[in-house]
């Protein structure tokens, strides 16, 4: 592939590093990967491994920092890795509407401390990275 968009998937994978290896193997040299993910705040290259749920979502295995995502991309053979956007998630982008009446972002946060999820984990950021297949 010349371009791959990996949006909102990596934190649902049991083996995110293996998935990145497989994606890179499917790309042409010089191909571009755009990766979007939830992330936890922090400068360290670490990932949260929640007990059962993260922000009420089952099937969330790893919630990395942006720097952890960067390292995963480098270690799986990508080059020119760049974190080009990072911002807190908000109820502006995920909210209840007339068409979407079930729980949304504000329901996933601790009502007494919106910097935490209802489980007590750090509230998510949304991060975007760009990388090239060598």
Spell out the domain ranges in the chain.
Answer: 3-132
- Mean of per-residue pLDDT scores for the chain: 93
Backbone CA torsion sign across 12, 9, 38, 76? positive
Q: Which two tokens stand for residue 13?
A: 């994978």
Distances, alpha carbon 68 to alpha carbons 16, 63, 64, 74, in Å: 11, 9, 6, 10
CA nearest to 60, candidates 16, 25, 96: 16
35-53 per-position pLDDT tens digit:
999 999 999 999 999 999 9
| Residues above pLDDT 90, as percent of the chain | 84
Q: How much is the average pLDDT of 109-126?
A: 96
pLDDT band per the 50, 70, 90 thresholds, residue 134: very high
Q: How far apart are CA 38 and CA 8, in angstroms?
A: 7
Radius of gyration, alpha carbons of the chain: 15
* Structure letter (DSSP) for residue 66: H
Cβ–Cβ under 8 Å, residues 43 and 74: no
| The model's pTM | 0.91
Residue 91 pLDDT grade (very low, low, confident, very high; cuts 50, 70, 90) = low
């Amino acid at each position: 592939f010349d371009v791959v968009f990996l949006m909102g998937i990596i934190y649902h994978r049991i083996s995110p590093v293996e998935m990145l290896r497989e994606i890179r193997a499917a790309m042409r040299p010089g191909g571009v990967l755009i990766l979007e993910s939830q992330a936890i705040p922090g400068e360290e290259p670490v990932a949260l491994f929640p007990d059962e749920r993260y922000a009420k979502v089952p099937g969330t295995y790893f919630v990395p920092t942006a720097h952890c995502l960067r390292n995963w991309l480098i270690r799986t053979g990508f080059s020119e890795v760049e974190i080009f956007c990072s911002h807190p998630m908000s109820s502006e982008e995920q909210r209840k509407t007339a068409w979407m009446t079930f729980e949304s972002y504000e329901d996933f946060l601790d009502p007494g401390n919106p910097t935490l999820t209802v489980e007590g984990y750090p509230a998510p950021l949304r991060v975007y990275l760009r990388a090239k297949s060598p």
